Amino acid sequence: MSFKDLKIIKPLLKAIEASGYSEPTLVQQRAIPPVLEGRDVIVSAQTGTGKTAAFALPILQQLFDKQDAPKRGKKIRALVISPTRELAVQIQQNFKNYAQFSNLRSLVVFGGTSIEPQIDVLKKGVDILVATPGRLLDLHKQDYINLDHIETLVLDEADLMLAMGFIDDVKKIERLCPEEKQTLLFSATIPYKIEELAKTILKDPERIDVTPTKSVAQDVSQVLYYVPKRRKIELCLHLLRNEIKGNVLIFRRTKFGVNKLEQRLAENGYKVDSIHGDKNQSDRQTALNKFKNGYVKVLIATDVAARGIDINKLDNVFNFDMPNQAETYVHRIGRTGRAGNIGKAYSMCSADEKSYVKTIEQYINVQIPIETEHPYPLDPKAKPIVHKKKGSKYKKGRKSVASKKKKKRWY
Ligand code: AMP
């Protein structure tokens, strides 16, 4: 099947050709026709499947015939909500790229950066707005955004929006848009709460499922190291020195862990950077750019911060902490080995993480090959280290409601 078969119009075909795509991906083949027909869709697809173009192309096509003069009096007619800033930036870059042979304008707005430049562009008028929920509501409250003319609303990475606590904001945004509109919901997984949300805001949606079979991409070779928790950093350094070739994305569960590892690797002379929820937008983007353009070879991230980020050439993924969800393992390692490159996925498992490995292996239906030849083997009889709760020395309920609200996110 070609993009022409999907009835994509010429200006978009030209942009697709310029991007070097020869044929539509599976999610594009299945989602573009119903979206062009104006139907609501629920798509389960992960990043890396080409899902952004699966909604961006038909949205642009629907707007193309109705486009206004280059700048004057534009109204926002398509709205894409994205949970993270990086993802929002990426989505808008896609729109900008595919719209290069049209008058259609897009803008991305997100928190953590100055609001004024975003207001300036909004005043000039845009057709498509990509936004994170908080900043969108903020701008709407200040009357810089009018959602009365929205024809298509996209909720991207809906499951992540749920995980990050944005679901009420999303519902609020949906209610601010006209009732008569097309709604497209994209999510890597469809948990119960997303199903419920879909029931309330989508009309007779077409369901499209392109989640890869649970099996992990064929072109990722996996290897597992059993290691005591306290020796993980040494093993990590050993592997960086002796095994790992090319760039590596290291996953840790918490931002505290990310910072600690970053410090140790830097002390050992590695050019390293990191992304997690506590870093501001510009630092996160800088870190990502440095990694993408090869200035740093090691990037350390939490799952949530790294979710959805598209890194074209990623040689290795390193699970410093084993993920406690099998899906997360598949997500993480699916980032390497793309586009015909062979990727490598290293995992380190300590005594307390053994049960995670079992669950992962059942889920992917593969036994991950174990490497025993390394300097820090785990005693097979080793018991997980149990941290006894000492209890707080302060009285319960000591914190005020206000300070509890300020509780920092862990991701
Ligand atoms: P996404 O899942 O939208 O994050 O896309 C993942 C990557 O696939 C991006 O780098 C896109 O530029 C690329 N891509 C999207 N559509 C196609 C296509 N039809 N052929 C080849 N690559 C594509």
pLDDT for the residue 300: 96
Whole-model pTM: value is 0.62
The tokens for 231 are: 């020796």
Asked if residue 78 belongs to a domain, the reply is yes
pLDDT for the residue 65: 76
Q: What is the pLDDT of residues 82-96, one digit of tens each?
A: 999 999 999 999 999
142 or 69, higher pLDDT: 142
134 and 268 together in one domain:
no
pLDDT for the residue 258: 95
Contact 296, 271 (CB under 8 A): yes
Ligand 1 center from residue 48 Cα (angstroms) = 6
Q: Is the CB of 103 under 6 A from ligand 1?
A: no
Nearest CA to ligand 1 atom 13: 50
269 and 204 together in one domain:
no
Task: Let me know how many helices (H) and strands (E) the chain has, helices first.
Answer: 16, 13
Contact 226, 377 (CB under 8 A): yes
Residue the block writes with tokens 């509780």? 407
- What confidence category does residue 399 fall into, taking pLDDT thresholds of 50, 70 and 90? low
Could you tell me where the beta strands, DSSP code E, fall in 45-166? 78-81, 106-109, 128-131, 152-155
Q: Is the CB of 53 under 6 A from ligand 1?
A: yes
Q: Is the CB of 97 under 6 A from ligand 1?
A: no
Q: Is the CB of 77 under 6 A from ligand 1?
A: no
242 and 186 together in one domain:
no
What average pLDDT does this structure show over 229-233?
A: 95
Residues forming beta bridges with residue 81, ordered by sequence position: 131, 155
What average pLDDT does this structure show over 8-33?
A: 92
**Residue range of the domain that includes 245:** 220-364
pLDDT for the residue 135: 94
The tokens for 195 are: 């199903």
Lowest-confidence pick of 172-176, 205-209, 392-396: 392-396
pLDDT for the residue 71: 56
Asked if residue 409 belongs to a domain, the reply is no
Of 180, 209, 238, the residue at which a domain comes to its end is 209
What average pLDDT does this structure show over 310-324?
A: 89
Asked if residue 397 belongs to a domain, the reply is no
136 and 266 together in one domain:
no
Asked if residue 400 belongs to a domain, the reply is no
Contact 319, 226 (CB under 8 A): no
Of 209, 230, 265, the residue at which a domain comes to its end is 209
**What is the spatial distance between Cα 385 and Cα 352, in angstroms, rounded to a whole number?**
7
User: If you count them, how many residues does the chain have?
Assistant: 411
Closest CA to 122 of 110, 108, 135, 132: 108
- What confidence category does residue 239 fall into, taking pLDDT thresholds of 50, 70 and 90? very high
CATH of residue 333 = 3.40.50.300
Which stretch of DSSP H or E encloses residue 356?
A: helix 354-364
Closest CA to 94 of 84, 80, 110, 83: 80
pLDDT for the residue 72: 61
- Which of 21, 26, 154, 210 has most ligand 1 atoms within 8 Å of its beta carbon, as the pocket-test mutant? 21
104 and 230 together in one domain:
no
Q: Is the pLDDT of residue 207 over 80?
A: yes
pLDDT for the residue 311: 78
Q: How many domains does the chain have?
A: 2
pLDDT for the residue 39: 97
Which stretch of DSSP H or E encloses residue 300?
A: strand 298-301
Q: Is the CB of 307 under 6 A from ligand 1?
A: no
186 and 256 together in one domain:
no
Mean pLDDT estimate for the chain: 88
pLDDT for the residue 385: 72
- Start-to-end CA distance of the chain, whole Å, equals 41
pLDDT for the residue 191: 84
91 and 229 together in one domain:
no
**Dihedral (C-alpha) 8, 10, 11, 17: value to the nearest 10 degrees?**
80
Asked if residue 388 belongs to a domain, the reply is no
Residue the block writes with tokens 């239906």? 365
The tokens for 181 are: 């509109």
What average pLDDT does this structure show over 241-269?
A: 94
Question: Ligand 1 atom closest to Cα of 45?
Answer: 2
Q: Is the pLDDT of residue 292 over 60?
A: yes
Of 189, 209, 229, the residue at which a domain comes to its end is 209
pLDDT for the residue 284: 87
243 and 318 together in one domain:
yes
92 and 22 together in one domain:
yes
**What is the spatial distance between Cα 286 and Cα 263, in angstroms, rounded to a whole number?**
18
Asked if residue 382 belongs to a domain, the reply is no
Question: Ligand 1 atom closest to Cα of 21?
Answer: 20
pLDDT for the residue 94: 97
Nearest CA to ligand 1 atom 16: 50
pLDDT for the residue 81: 97
Asked if residue 371 belongs to a domain, the reply is no
H runs (alpha helix) in 293-343:
303-306, 326-333
Q: In percent, how much of the chain has pLDDT > 70?
A: 88
What average pLDDT does this structure show over 309-320?
A: 86
205 and 224 together in one domain:
no
pLDDT for the residue 70: 56
Q: Is the CB of 29 under 6 A from ligand 1?
A: no
Q: Is the CB of 25 under 6 A from ligand 1?
A: yes
Q: Is the CB of 152 under 6 A from ligand 1?
A: no
Pairing assessment for the beta strands 343-349 and 272-275 based on DSSP bridges:
unpaired
167 and 247 together in one domain:
no
Asked if residue 185 belongs to a domain, the reply is yes
Q: In percent, how much of the chain has pLDDT > 90?
A: 60
232 and 358 together in one domain:
yes
pLDDT for the residue 231: 95
**Dihedral (C-alpha) 111, 114, 116, 120: value to the nearest 10 degrees?**
-70
pLDDT for the residue 366: 75
